[in-house]
Structure 1
Amino acid sequence: MQFIDSHVHIWTEDEKTYKRHPSYPIPGGIDASKIEINPKHFPPETIISMAKPFGIDRVCLVQMSFYGSDNSYIIDAIKQYPLSFRGAGYVDSNMPGLENEMETLLNKGITGFRIVPEDRYVTSWLQTPGYDLMFSKAAETKQALSCLVNSDAFNEIDRMSNRHPNTVIVIDHLGRIGANGTILQSDIDQLCALAKNENIYLKVSAFYALGSKQPPHHDLIPLIKQVYDSYGPDRLMWASDAPPALMDESYEDQISVVRDHINFISQSDKEKLMRTTAERIFFFR
């Protein structure tokens, strides 16, 4: 059985061809163009060779923050390896010609977009004409909108989910619950409450950044159990979040949480979590 990694970043040390941009709204007001990265070079060939031994033959490439709205690096990777990759790109929701740009990018393999709130507007970050247009167009194109958020943004996602019920919304990294080291039941309850909205999906990912932040990540299993019970396997998708996940852990550490350490999910449901859901959401064309 072949699997899909639904969240991987790639970048290149070739900054002349693929320039960095400071405009991407990283929480904390960080200038994305000045981020120090390690490794310096993580091209598509690296993730292909890294994932293959574990039966992972397809990957959703997520736009790296410092490239801003220039999606050319992941587009070029998709063009070079069309059977292996699709992309979640980034566009400015306030740009002129947004709808046309979304269609153009879809035809280049960008089957989703990442959206990120600005800190000072987190409780109202989607309340703009641009985001309304983006959500409406995404319902038409079937491009998923992947949200990098904390629990303080859940209410706004709930509002937009109800306003745009035909738009696929994906919450990245289990809503980053436990990113500060503490897994709050109140945050889990709020995340699970969103399951009533059938257009909301979750990435079960970024284990290295949550809770104890130590493999084998058994402290995250109760959280995963609760979202599994609430959302079911058809709305959950596993991801590694490589290469940030590889700073202190291995690629297999990210896989083994779901593959080896969870006994409440059947093998058929694990196949949904590790392949079928992501296939439906990101590899629909």
Structure 2
Amino acid sequence: MSQFDLADTGQRDRATPCPSIGRRHWIAGVAAAAGTMAMQRQSVAAESSDDKGYIDAHVHVWTPDTKTYPLDDRYDVSAMQPPSFTPKQLMQLAEPLGVSRIVLIQMSFYGFDNSYMLDVIANHPGRFSGVAVIDPEDHPVETMKSLKSKGVRGFRIVSGKKDPDRWLTGEGMKQMWACAADESMAICPLINPEYLPSVDKMCRQYPETNVVIDHFARIGIDGTIHDQDLDALCRLAEHQHTYVKTSAFYALGKKTAPYTDLGAMIHRLAHAFGTDRLMWATDCPYQVQDGHTYHESLDLIRSKLDFLSDRDRSWMLRKTAEKVFFS
């Protein structure tokens, strides 16, 4: 599966079909990426933001150990492509490039059981923060507070194919948004552009809630960045606690490195939100499949967009994610 976060929705809204990625293809891709990164290790590490390292604000991890960490009933091991993406495999890609901290996003394979992500956080103090997935109808406030004590700082909500005007109207969802404001945690919608107006409405009702939009709200997944979609995303900038992940470059626009065709969209968002409300992320492991690499994602923000100043890059590559997910 190579389209970003489609495994998390159980569907392929506005996306092209996704071929499976075999183990040999995966290993070959990682080996090539590792070779490139080895040559860049010293110079890149020296450039990392303020000597504290970059933060990748969106990564999924999972383990082939399905006995200790069972999959949700909706999935079997055939859905796990690649078969394994552990913290060790992740950091082999990220650390040589100066990425020292990661925001983990609960993988849909595990449903509402966040155990694997929580164990990763506990086993690597200070390195990982988490975005969990919970059942909004099952005591959400108590669950959110408990997960906060274990390193979770955000909660993913997924629109799926729900009614765009009604998917956020449930009582449990309202409790989640209110609790996130009270506890300084984030609500993280994985949505298509048609759901942006409903998020805007909730931002008006809960103005103190941190809201982090994943992957530009998937604008450009069909190959075209539609002005009306970008207008809708930019309207969220009037809410001072909204943020956008500039991420999943491999799946948007031309879907080809160096991804500079996404520059105009990033420039527009930087003007609307300010770079202190934008955060870079890869969406690994999907960013390192089908010939795409980790460093190509990082390099778009680090060196390919001339309109970004050093200050802008510092916020996008570390400070914004640090403020939202590591404070």
Asked if Structure 1 and Structure 2 have the same fold, meaning a TM-score greater than 0.5 normalized by the shorter chain, the answer is yes
Residue 118, structure 1, aligned to residue 196, structure 2: no
Q: In the alignment, what sits opposite 2:143?
A: 101
Deviations along 1:197-224, whole A, 9 cap, x unmatched? 1111000000001011111111111011
Q: Where does structure 2 lack aligned partners over 5 or more consecutive residues? A: 1-48
Deviations 1:60-97 (A, max 9, x none): 000001111100001000000012101001001111x2
Please name the residue that 2:43 is paired with. none
In the alignment, the residues of structure 2 paired with residue 162 and residue 247 of structure 1 have an alpha-carbon distance, to the nearest angstrom, of 38
CA contact (8 A) 1:115 1:148 kept: yes
Provide the identity percentage: 39
Most deviating of 112-121 and 126-135: 112-121
Any conservation in 2 of the 1:204–1:236 contact (CA below 8 Å)? yes
TM-score by length of 2: 0.82
Deviation per CA, 1:205-256, whole angstroms, max 9, x where unpaired?
A: 0000101111111111101110011000111000010001111201011111
Indicate yes or no: 2:297 matched with 1:254: yes
Counterpart selection for 2:280 from 238, 255, 271? 238
Q: Report which of the two structures shows the higher radius of gyration computed on alpha carbons.
A: 2
CA contact (8 A) 1:123 1:152 kept: no
Q: Does 1:11 align with 2:53?
A: no
Structure 1 unaligned segments of length 5 or more: list them.
23-30
Other-structure match for 2:258: 216
Q: Which residue of 2 aligns with 1:92?
A: 135
Task: Quote the residue 1:278 is aligned against.
Answer: 321
Q: How does 1:35-184 map to 2 (within 5 A)?
A: 36-95=79-138, 97-184=139-226
For the 8 Å contact 2:77–2:83, the answer to whether it is kept is no
The number of aligned residues is 275
User: Which SS does the other structure have where 1:76 is aligned?
Assistant: helix
Equivalent residue number for residue 194 of structure 1: 236
Inter-CA distance 194–35: structure 2 relative to 1 (3 Å threshold):
farther
User: C-alpha separation between the residues in 2 aligned to 1:152 and 1:91?
Assistant: 23
Question: What do the CA deviations read for 1:239-278 (whole angstroms, capped 9, x no partner)?
Answer: 0100011112010111111111111011011101110000
